[in-house]
Structure 1
């Protein structure tokens, strides 16, 4: 699956969903730094993609990039609230609090 998605992107068919899915797969495999790259690109391509913001912030938190996680989660919460995606906003608020504690 990862290889097919990467080949699709390499062939010029880059989409936010492809990037999100690749980020999710890398996250599940423990390759957090590669996941961050794909998730950052997903939200760059579609700034309203609240699920991508959530996983992006969570992955940064898990990778120990607490200050960056705080920035991303803050943006993600705003996006999710604007989109009416209250569940994603609540989950990101939990991750935000964890990142804030870890950054202290």
Structure 2
């Protein structure tokens, strides 16, 4: 598949900001989100890992990373991302994110018994 044909205007706009003054965890998270919406889970996971390297306390990035990994068939890595995300969210008082990731983790384990 030619990735140039599937690039949304948001992805194009956001990627132009890479390595500039606005580059950072939030930009990398936004790119991960856009790539996941475009159906490119592996590319999304790459950007989300970059985001978390810059800000490992971002509950939303952990949650989206788990979703991207799951969508890419990386079940064990998705379980790890959700587990780490629950720990981070709980430690920061982000109870809603922890609950959501707990539900995603439970579903993932139910749907893939080896996870």
The normalised TM-score by structure 1 is: 0.91
Q: Which residue of 2 aligns with 1:95?
A: 104
Larger of the two Rg values belongs to structure = 2
Q: Does 1:2 align with 2:11?
A: yes
- Provide Cα deviations, 1:42-94, integer angstroms capped at 9, x if missing partner: 11110110011111111111221110011111110000001111111011011
**2:75 maps to what in 1?**
66
TM-score, structure 2 as length reference: 0.83
Other-structure match for 1:35: 44
Equivalent position to 2:53, from 40, 44, 48: 44
User: Normalized per residue, which structure has more helix?
Assistant: 1
- Could you say what the CA RMSD is over the residues aligned between the two structures, in angstroms? 1.4
Instruction: Give the Å deviation of 1:95.
Output: 1.3
Distance 1:65 1:54 in 2: 14
1:15-46 CA-partner distances (Å, limit 9, x unpaired): 11101110111111111111000111111110
Runs of 4+ in 1 over 4 A off after TM superposition: none
Q: Which runs of 5+ in 2 are unaligned?
A: 1-9
Aligned residues: 104
Greater RCO (CA < 8 Å, at least 6 residues apart): 1
Superposition deviation, residue 98 in structure 1: 2.2
Gapped runs of 5+ residues in structure 1?
none
